[in-house]
Structures are given as C-alpha cells and as structure tokens.
Amino acid sequence: MEAATVAAEAALGQLRASFASGRTRPAAWRAAQLRGVLRMATEMEAEICAALRADLAKPCTEAYVHEISLVKSSCMFALKNLKKWMKPKKVPAGVLTFPSAARIAAEPLGVVLVISAWNYPFLLAIDPIIGAIAAGNAVVLKPSEIAPATSSLLANLLPRFVDGSCVRIVEGGVPETTALLEQKWDKIFYTGNGKVGRIVMNFAAKHLTPVVLELGGKCPVIVDSNVDLHVAAKRIASGKWGCNNGQACISPDFIITTKSFAPKLLDSLKKVLEKFYGKDPLLSADLSRIVNSNHFNRLRRLMDEEMVSDKIVFGGQSDQQELKIAPTLLLDVPLDSAIMKEEIFGPLLPIITVDKIHESFALINSMTKPLAAYIFTKNSRLQHQFERSISAGGMIINDTSVHLTNPHLPFGGVGESGMGAYHGTFSFDAFSHKKAVLARSFGIETKARYPPYTPAKLKILKSVLKGNLVAMIQAVLGCPRGA
C-alpha cells in the first residue's frame, strides 16, 4: 500500500509540474498528442488486436470495428474541431452592463484521472484520454487489471506515442487504484460498475473533485409485432452477442415482447444465431469469451438458479476450461430472479412476455434508469410514447448500440447508469472549465447601483432590471444627478 501511495504521489506531482509549466495549453501540443494516438492506433493495430484476443478472445473484426476504428475517428474528430473548441465564444452581455463584452472561454481543469474498464479495454482507456488532451489537461490513466494484456500494452505503447511528461499510466489493482483515488485530482473519469462508482465519488468528495461516472444497467429492448422481424433480430443479435458476447454496457440486457409475438421472435433469433455463429457456437471464432472465471461463475449462477434454468429455450452450453458460454435465450424467467435483478453482462438474453406491449413501459420504469433503452416498432405512436415515458442515457428506435458511434450525441447515463457524458464535443466539455469572462469599460457609470440609496435610484434600478428603455437611458446618462 505504501509503495502504491508513493507511486501515485509521484505521478501526480510530476504531472502537476508539467501542467503548471503551461506545456499542455497550446493547440500545437494537443494536436501533436492526438496525432500520436492516431498513429498508435494505426501502426499498432496488430498488437492491439492480439492483446484484446488474449484478454477477451475478442474477434479481430470486433477489435477493429468497436475499438480501434472508434479511437481513430475520435482522434480525427477532435483534431478537426480543436481550434473551434478552443476559441472563446462571444455571448450577448445584455443591457444591464452596457457597454461590455462577454465571452465564455474553455480552459483545462488541470490534472485528471481516467479509470477504465476491462470489456473495451483499449477504447475506454483512450477515448476519455482524447477528450482530456484535447481540453489541454495532463492525464493519469489507470487501465483495468482484469484486462492485463491490454493494460501492459498501453503502458508500453503510450509513452512511445505521446508526451510522457503529461500522460502517465499507473497499472495495478485495488491498492494502486485506492492510492490514486486518495490524491487530489481536478476531475475523475470512471467507467465501470455502480458499486465502485459510489466508492470513486466518495473519494472525490474529500477533495471536492467533480466526476464523470459511466456505469451500466439493464438495457431493455421492447419488441413490438409491427416490425421487420428478420432485420430486428439481426440488429438485436448484433448488439448483444456481437458486442463482446454481451459484456458491454449498452448491450441489450433483456427483451420485452407480447405473449403472442414471442414464439415468432424466438424463432427468428434462433435462426439468426445459427447463421452468425454456426451450429456449435462454442467453436465459433466470432464470439468473445467470458473475461475471467469470476464472471464465468457469476453467469453460470444466473443461469443455474432454480426457476430460471428450466426457462432456457436455446443455448445454455458452456465450457469452463475455455471460459466460453454460448448465446442463451430464456423465456419468462421470474422477475425477482437474480438474472432479472442484476446487470447480466454476458450472453444470456431473457425474454419477458406481457399481454399488451404498453405494459412494457411500467415494467421498465419499475427498474433503475439504464444506460440505453431500445424499441423495435414501426408504430410511430408507440415510438413517441417510448421516448416520452422512458428515461435512459440514450435510446434507439429500431436498432441497438449504434448511437455510441455518433460523435454528435452525448454518451452517458442518468440515475444509476451514471452522471456526465462524453464523445465528440462532450468529451472536450467534460474535461474543461467554461470560464465566464466579462470585459467592461469605464465609459458609462450607473450611479443608481451604489449607496446611499434613494427612492429615485431604486426606481431606476427597478426599471433597468425590468428592461424599461427610458429608465435605462436615464441610468446610462448617469441619473439621478446630485446623488
């Protein structure tokens, strides 16, 4: 613990000095770091894929599409918009302080801490760093120890591609993370689960450090009968098992559909699953494995619970040795079972049936607000009702998970699924302080604002604050005289 504290203090101390020197402020420095990250993602693609395969058996296609290419487009978006983001924005100062000029200038917070998760270990480490750097901060990254190959790859690569005096990696587990959290940061960005999210915020409270918490939740999918079923099934499957085999914060967690439609939906999902992963999914190279035996056992417990295990209608196979679990569909598990109370984060997909599709809203609202909510329907009234009645970090109609690739949409949770957002401009904003700057001249003096107070002055003040033109002219002319 002592060594961890020393390392944490040293990293922070060094970065404070670097930040204080002003090194991270110029656009040129920021752009150089972003280009470095871009080069790293391009030149080291094979190494990154290999690390992700070692940590998660992640198929190279997923590694490319969901991690590397998103990092690259994030860099390019930041590079393209950097000057615009850094430029102060003029805002109307209004008549109260005429003549004056008002603007909002973005400035870096200082030295920030990014703690990333294990399921998208490359993306979730680098994407926040892109925002932090674009905003001109110095950064410490604590990659997840549950994805050790990626963690050590990052520790190895980053110093070769970015300025090591301002971007540092601290590897390790709980003791190292705790030592880091005890320090005073200008912002902490955490991706992970709600239990640790609470711990992070509690540590942050000691130093009044603002936080972004990207957590999870049970992302529901409502499937109406008025859909293009085959396409819907593919998009659901793609968002569930095509995203790290369900180990993703925005993966569909469970489905709600009507009793009458369930058989058709099940049938379609089974067909799609067989097409995607073959007759024996445990042998498919296109499925990530479960990250470690802890999570494997956790998922098996969810599946094996009494009253749940007999609801499995497809899949259910697993291989403890290889840490693989096949895509598994369950029909109408009890709502108070563990699989319906916890975030699944795995390849198990419960389907809950209701009599009428509208009942799905009440069911979803009885749970905590998720990071994402999905609905498949062509019925525009149902779509509208979905949008109005459900609160979630983000939502998609007629697809799953793709909203995170749009840099113009804020990505973040609400309620139990988190606080704060990032991606695109929101990443820059997350790591900036928007300073209000007001510049006045001495030209005009409004005596009415100063004591000693007289009824005449009060009258003018009232009118000025109400926007009364004559009173404002009087104020501007320096009335009342002799006061």
Angle at 269 between CA 263 and CA 270, to 5 degrees: 90
Residue 283 contacts another protein per CB under 8 A: no
Cα separation, 327 vs 465, whole angstroms: 64
Residue 107 contacts another protein per CB under 8 A: yes
249 is catalytic: yes
Residue 393 contacts another protein per CB under 8 A: yes
Residue 435 contacts another protein per CB under 8 A: yes
Q: What is the largest CA-CA distance in the chain?
A: 94
**Minimum gap (Å) between residue 141 Cβ and another protein:** 22
Cα separation, 63 vs 53, whole angstroms: 8
Which region, judged by CB under 8 A, interacts with another protein, from 3-11, 232-240, 339-347, 468-476?
A: 232-240
Number of shown-chain residues binding another protein (CB under 8 A): 100
Residue 82 contacts another protein per CB under 8 A: no
**Minimum gap (Å) between residue 2 Cβ and another protein:** 25
Cα separation, 187 vs 150, whole angstroms: 24
Residue 419 contacts another protein per CB under 8 A: yes
DSSP 8-state symbol, 449: G
Residues 36-75 that bind another protein (CB under 8 A): 59-61, 64-65, 69, 72-73
Q: Which residues pair with 112 in a beta bridge?
A: 139, 187
CB within 8 A of 93, min separation 6: which ones?
100, 101, 102, 438
Of 319, 415, 476, 479, the residue at the interface with another protein (CB under 8 A) is 415
Output 295 or 457, the one with its CB closest to another protein: 457
Do strands 111-115 and 138-142 pair parallel, antiparallel, or not at all (unpaired)? parallel
Catalytic annotation, pick one of 67, 75, 249, 416? 249
CA atoms within 13 A on the CB side of 345: 23
Residue 325 contacts another protein per CB under 8 A: no
Output 100 or 297, the one with its CB closest to another protein: 100
Output 17 or 465, the one with its CB closest to another protein: 465
Catalytic annotation, pick one of 214, 219, 343, 416? 214
**Alpha carbon 391 to its chain's center:** 16
**Minimum gap (Å) between residue 212 Cβ and another protein:** 10
Contact of 118 with 412, CB cutoff 8 Å: no
Output 109 or 169, the one with its CB closest to another protein: 109
* Token pair of 216 as six digits: 């999870």
CB within 8 A of 161, min separation 6: which ones?
36, 37, 39, 40
Which region, judged by CB under 8 A, interacts with another protein, from 78-86, 158-166, 450-458, 469-477?
A: 450-458
Residue 83 contacts another protein per CB under 8 A: no
Residue 81 contacts another protein per CB under 8 A: no
Q: How buried is residue 225: exposed, middle or buried, by Cβ count under 10 Å (0-12/13-18/19+)?
A: middle
Residue 269 contacts another protein per CB under 8 A: no
Extract the runs of DSSP E, i.e. beta strands, from 187-262.
187-191, 211-214, 220-223, 254-258
Of 53, 234, 289, 295, the residue at the interface with another protein (CB under 8 A) is 234
CA distances to 226, 251, 252, 393, 394 from 388, in Å: 20, 22, 20, 13, 12
Output 218 or 234, the one with its CB closest to another protein: 234
Nearest alpha-carbon partner for 250 in 285, 215, 290: 215
Amino acid at 137: N
Residue 481 contacts another protein per CB under 8 A: no
**Minimum gap (Å) between residue 231 Cβ and another protein:** 5
Residue 394 contacts another protein per CB under 8 A: yes
Output 264 or 300, the one with its CB closest to another protein: 264
Residues 348-387 that bind another protein (CB under 8 A): 378, 383, 387
Residues 170-209 that bind another protein (CB under 8 A): 186, 194, 197-199, 201-202, 204-206, 208
Q: Which residues are catalytic?
A: 214, 249
